[in-house]
Amino acid sequence: MPETFDRELEERLIRYARIDTESDEASPTTPSTERLLDLLRLLVAELREIGASDVTMTDYGAVLATLPATVEGNAPTVAFLAHVDTTNAYNGCGVEPIVHCAYDGADIRLPKGDDVVLSPAALPYLASKVGDDIITASGDTLLGADDKAGIAIIMTMARHLLAHPELPHGPLRLCFTPDEEIGRGVHPNLPRDLQADVAYTLDGADLGEIVYETFSADKATVTIQGVSAHPGDAKDVLVNALLLASKIAMTLPHATLTPETTADRQGFIFLYQMSGNAAQAEMQLILRDFELEGLHAHGELVQLVCAAVQATEPRARIACEITPQYRNMRYWLEQDMRPVELAREACRQLGIEPFSPPTRGGTDGSRLTELGTPTPNLFTGMQNIHGPLEWISVQDMARATELCVGLAQLWSKETGA
């Protein structure tokens, strides 16, 4: 491709990464935090500046825009999506990106944090990126390439296509969502407002990764009501909710069913938050599995453990509520693999051999696919997300941008969706 995207992508990612966009699961608002609007409003302004059409922000915080078709006919409308929020599982405030130009293959020692080092010996993918420009944070925050790399890629693609109307493509829709990290990225109205026949999220990892299989996900919220009493007069009165929560946590299987003990196609139960006091406590767990049978089994196990602990202390009240989050996109995409096959073809046109590993997570595409808009996930290059060792290759981002440009052109030759 004659145009090199490297410097534009580098500049965009650095600019977006410096904006604090942590989402907040405890917030009842949409978007969940005011700070998400800082980046969303910036994207509205940038989309208008590059000449996109129909630029708008919905009342639920999604930014939408259109690139009008450059071909005649009824080519399908294709959407590209990324999310603006970063996880609150690790500090994402005050990000200071660092560009390590022409990586030489040595350890990358970050200046902040407690001896934070990216070692190619421990990170084989990093070892394969000698000569690339590597972007990291400074060691005491995450970088936020998840998913600001996706934003940078989509914006760069959009700017390029608008500057080159001779490139054939059908109608394209761009979408930037809030709150993906807390499972609220796809509002029920988004498929209607997106108006796309097919979509792609830019939220994947290694070069060539085309994902059409994700976890299915539920959330379990366990609430424990104890009996409060002054500790000096607590004998035979106090029922400590925190101790009951601890019993539940310790009764759940630890050796075979947690994130740190599972891999590949194994599901898990993850206790990620516990709060409260002696009078009342709350536990938040996420349940993950590639198959619905396994997901339901995880939920039944949590409920069984809660019932068992409840039986040991009838004066307490223990409730377990399980709510659906998203489902494996494979259930729908395997019925029509054209979105996946065209992405693979676009990869091969770039000399990249595509591969499709099952992803131990989910994307906005999981929910969008379930709601009727088939949405595979494309690579961006992001690595070691949700922690201080997060990094990304600028050149991987450039290839992802080229992939999107090529994919838009491939879909222009299709009719219907």
Catalytically annotated residues: 85, 180
Beta strands, E only, 251-348 = 268-276, 280-289, 317-326
- As a whole number of angstroms, the distance between CA 404 and CA 154 comes to 8
Say how many CA atoms lie within 13 Å of 260 toward its Cβ: 5
Counted residue by residue, the chain has a size of 417
- As a whole number of angstroms, the distance between CA 414 and CA 326 comes to 29
- Residues whose CB is less than 8 angstroms from the CB of residue 221 and which lie 6 or more positions away in sequence, other chains included: 282, 283, 284, 285, 320, 321, 322, 323
Three-state DSSP class for residue 351 = coil
336: its two tokens:
């029509």
272: its two tokens:
């990620």
Q: 220 burial class (0-12, 13-18, 19+ CB within 10 angstroms)?
A: buried
For residue 86, the tally of other CB atoms under 10 A from its CB is 32
- As a whole number of angstroms, the distance between CA 291 and CA 284 comes to 22
Stated as kind and residue range, the H or E segment containing 246 is: helix 241-251
Three-state DSSP class for residue 129 = coil
Query: What φ, ψ does residue 135 adopt, rounded to 5°?
Result: -110, 130
Q: 154 burial class (0-12, 13-18, 19+ CB within 10 angstroms)?
A: buried
Instruction: For residue 147, say if its preceding peptide bond is cis, omega within 30 degrees of 0.
Output: yes
Answer for the pair 187, 60: CB distance below 8 angstroms, yes or no. Answer: yes
Answer for the pair 279, 241: CB distance below 8 angstroms, yes or no. Answer: yes
4: its two tokens:
């090199």
Answer for the pair 217, 296: CB distance below 8 angstroms, yes or no. Answer: no
CA-to-CA dists, residue 38 to 8, 33, 179, 200, angstroms: 21, 10, 14, 24
